[in-house]
Amino acid sequence: MVFTDIIEKKKNGLKLNQEELNFFIDGYVKGIIPDYQVSALLMAIVLKGMDEEETVALTSAMIDSGPRMDLSGIKGFKVDKHSTGGVGDDTTLLVAPLVAACGCKVAKMSGRGLGFTGGTLDKLESIPGFNVFFDNETFIKNVSKVGLSIIGQTQDLVPADKKLYALRDVTGTVQSLPLIASSIMSKKIAMGTDAVVLDVKTGNGALLPALKDSIKLADIMVRIGNAKGLKTAAVVTDMNQPLGNCIGNALSVEEAIHVLKDNIECDIKTVSLTLASKMLILGGICESDSEAMMMLEEKIASGQALVKLAQMIKNQGGDPNVVDDTSILPHAKEQISVCADSSGYVSEIITHEVGSAASLLGAGRMTKEDVIDPAVGIVIKKRLGDYVKKGEELAIFHVNDKKNFEEAVARFKKAYTISKVQPDELPLIYTVIEE
């Protein structure tokens, strides 16, 4: 087989078969096919797309690029959760302890934030002592012991995705439905859990902003998962404004603890409980959403979910007292109000720009090599539909280093549209896709 023929075929909009996709993935992982040729194929895939059969075939080839995790040592139903990425998304910090408190085993590998999106690993690492790197044996032991563990992705889990994602990131080929679906589902299937619930974001802070694309992505991922023996459901959720009010790492941890501890009714709780209820249903713990919601509410009210979170933190080397005393978390030197320049309703928030503003303060990375500051970030004071008076606080910036402060403020203010007309309320949950 000749790789240029494969590039030509896709360039002409033709369908690639399993053999060709295996040749591509195998050759790339082994270093036989160079980055420049793979870049050409990736761009052809972005422009010409792939049908479902091809996407499944690409996912299979990627899964086979490395060994699968063997979680058979963990007794009970093993469940995972994945978000396609957003701004202010702390749901894993709620969902994982909640579902573990209900009796499922949560075995999760998470990623770091890049660009405007946040990452669970960075958030957890803001807890003093918290370790996200364990060998497989210890990970399995940890899940068995306390019912949940969240660690960084191991080097050998889907090596094809590691190489491809790094290349996509620098070649303008991230935003492609078949590439996103195969990237996410190859890792979820190779992870070896019994089920996964996907949180597919939609809106101006999502990877694929258009609702119809988000639904298509959710739909194909659910079909790939179920076809490969991984029970999969997806919830399409809103990302037309940050989820919750805190963007940053320690700030997100503090917010998640606050929601669990004080049982705050808010968007993060609604999305988290929706995802968690689907996990409990896939796990056979509950039969209906209403039963699952009742159980989850009880785990919050009784404090059992918070206890699970503390157990996980302790088990992974962190200070579990953080759930009672969030002053243990790093805090920024300065808190600076950012105020509205005019009066009116917040009618639009360009969410990815808000995420970028937080990254400029040091809460996220512009490149993979950047070092983040766990203490800094943004606490939002006005959300879509809120009325704001000129000079009133839109947000509080938590700042350590003023280097990019002015640029961050400018970006943040530009992200907010304030107008005379109150916008229609957007749904938080658009749809749920189950088999």
Report the residue from 120, 183, 237, 274 that binds ligand URA according to the rule CB under 6 A. 183
Are residues 37 and 169 in contact, defined by beta-carbon separation less than 8 angstroms? no
> For strand 429-433 and strand 377-380, is the pairing parallel, antiparallel, or unpaired?
unpaired
In the bound state with ligand URA, the residue whose beta carbon lies nearer, of 45 and 415, is: 45
Report the residue from 38, 140, 151, 184 that binds ligand URA according to the rule CB under 6 A. 184
Residues with Cβ within 8 Å of residue 369, at least 6 apart in sequence: none
In the block, residue with structure tokens 């993979």: 368
203 binds ligand URA (CB under 6 A): no
Residues with Cβ within 8 Å of residue 31, at least 6 apart in sequence: none
Of 372, 371, 369, 368, nearest to 169 (Cα)? 368
Residues with Cβ within 8 Å of residue 170, at least 6 apart in sequence: none
110 binds ligand URA (CB under 6 A): no
Are residues 52 and 58 in contact, defined by beta-carbon separation less than 8 angstroms? no
84 binds ligand URA (CB under 6 A): yes
d(CA 130, CA 110): 14
6 binds ligand URA (CB under 6 A): no
Report the residue from 66, 85, 119, 152 that binds ligand URA according to the rule CB under 6 A. 85
In the bound state with ligand URA, the residue whose beta carbon lies nearer, of 207 and 236, is: 207
User: Which of these segments, 102-110, 176-184, 272-280, 381-389, binds ligand URA (CB under 6 A)?
Assistant: 176-184
> For strand 195-202 and strand 78-83, is the pairing parallel, antiparallel, or unpaired?
parallel
Task: Draw the binding track, 135-174, toward ligand URA (x: CB under 6 A; -: no contact).
Answer: ------------------------------x---------
Residues with Cβ within 8 Å of residue 55, at least 6 apart in sequence: 177, 178, 181, 182, 220, 224
Task: Quickly count: other Cβ atoms within 10 Å of residue 72's Cβ.
Answer: 9
In the bound state with ligand URA, the residue whose beta carbon lies nearer, of 84 and 351, is: 84
How many residues touch ligand URA under the rule CB under 6 A: the total is 8
212 is catalytic: no
In the bound state with ligand URA, the residue whose beta carbon lies nearer, of 179 and 275, is: 179
Q: Which two tokens stand for residue 283?
A: 């796990």
383 is catalytic: no
306 binds ligand URA (CB under 6 A): no
Which residues carry out catalysis? Answer: 82, 161, 168, 183, 187
Residues lying near ligand URA in the complex (CB under 6 A) are found at 84-85, 165, 179-180, 183-184, 207
